[in-house]
Amino acid sequence: MAASKAFAELSRIYHTELKKEYKIFVEKLIKSASTDSNTAVTRGYTKGLTSLNKLMVSHYLIDIIRICSENCKIKAKVLDDADTRKYTV
């Protein structure tokens, strides 16, 4: 939870414009948030996506909604993680 709050604060302060390096960072979160085989990664990246500031969320809204809807579904036993679903909601 502390990491999520810290990331939200970082995003609020640093993501004030859509710079290339910020886009690369967020796109990496988006790419792995629902597809990585490591559930800790999907959990953390999902939490990170929900902690982005308004500018980043508005720019990536469609992708974030897609990731959240994918992560709300129960997956195969190996990839399933209740905490990822909890953080998505």
Q: Exposed, middle or buried: residue 12 (CB in 10 Å: 0-12, 13-18, 19+)?
A: middle
- CA 72, 74, 76, 77 dihedral sign is positive
Q: What is the pLDDT of residues 20-40, one digit of tens each?
A: 999 999 999 898 887 887 877
Q: Which of 8, 2, 74 has its CA nearest to residue 39?
A: 74
Q: What is the pLDDT of residues 34-86, one digit of tens each?
A: 788 787 788 788 888 888 999 999 999 999 989 888 777 766 665 566 666 66
pTM of the entire structure?
0.74
pLDDT band at 87 (very low <50, low <70, confident <90, very high): low
Q: Would you state the pLDDT for residue 32?
A: 87
